[in-house]
């Protein structure tokens, strides 16, 4: 998993509330178990018209936001079904951080397991960042995970909270497999002792 330390990038505004995982990545794209290639289908039903052409009014189709790395969203982002393809699609598009007043629990947890930093903030702070994002490609924000700070384009710093264990995992690029491999020597030692004490097993 890619480490998340510090990110400076364009923030795209999506002020919709209750954006569910089917909006993020529709069900017809869930057949794959690969984590790549889903970015082109991110927000598919809003991003494209019935003929497959781009909807010019959708935020990520606008020139200023085509390479956005931060998404500023409305409350209850990621609600609906628990599909892990939702963070896969965001990450494959290039989104490394989502900021919103609140998140659905399962989506929130899945983000950390896939290298995306979800940051819940009070509505007033989200409103500031949404206003910044609406300014287009000039809306570059800096997120420093170690310091737990978001720096707005005007230089104002917004602090955020994060669970220490999740912070450790993101800073070190550790998903569930990576965490297990950290215990590799202990696992090998246990297996060696078990072969000696329970050779029949």
Confidence (pLDDT) at 198: 72
Q: At what angle do helices 105-113 and 85-93 cross, to 10 degrees?
A: 50
Does residue 188 lie within any of the structural domains? no
Does residue 76 lie within any of the structural domains? yes
178 or 51, greater pLDDT = 51
Alpha-carbon span 77 to 98, nearest angstrom: 9
- How many structural domains is the chain composed of? 1
Range of the domain at 46: 6-176
Q: Please provide the average confidence, as pLDDT, over all residues in the chain.
A: 91
Whole-model pTM over 0.75: yes
Confidence (pLDDT) at 151: 98
pLDDT tens digits, one per residue of 111-135: 999 999 999 999 999 999 999 999 9
CB 124 within 8 A of CB 60: no
Alpha-carbon span 25 to 29, nearest angstrom: 7
Does residue 198 lie within any of the structural domains? no
pLDDT tens digits, one per residue of 151-195: 999 999 999 999 999 999 999 999 766 666 565 566 666 665 666
Does residue 134 lie within any of the structural domains? yes
């Amino acid at each position: 998993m890619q480490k998340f330390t510090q990110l400076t990038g364009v923030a795209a505004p999506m002020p919709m509330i209750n954006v569910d995982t089917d909006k993020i990545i529709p069900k017809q794209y869930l057949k794959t178990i690969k984590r790549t290639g889903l970015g082109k289908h991110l927000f598919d039903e809003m991003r494209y018209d019935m003929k497959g052409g781009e909807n010019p009014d959708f935020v990520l189709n606008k020139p200023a936001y085509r390479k956005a790395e931060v998404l500023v969203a409305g409350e209850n982002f990621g609600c609906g079904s628990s599909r892990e393809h939702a963070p896969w699609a965001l990450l494959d598009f290039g989104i490394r951080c989502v900021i919103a007043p609140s998140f659905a629990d399962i989506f929130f947890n899945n983000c950390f397991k896939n290298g995306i930093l979800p940051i819940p903030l009070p509505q007033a702070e989200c409103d500031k960042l949404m206003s910044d994002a609406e300014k287009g490609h000039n809306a570059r924000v800096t997120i420093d995970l170690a310091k737990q700070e978001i720096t707005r384009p005007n230089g104002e710093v917004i602090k955020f909270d994060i669970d220490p264990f999740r912070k450790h995992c993101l800073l070190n690029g550790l998903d569930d497999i990576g965490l297990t491999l950290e215990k590799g020597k202990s696992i090998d030692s246990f297996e060696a002792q078990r072969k000696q004490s329970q050779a029949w097993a």
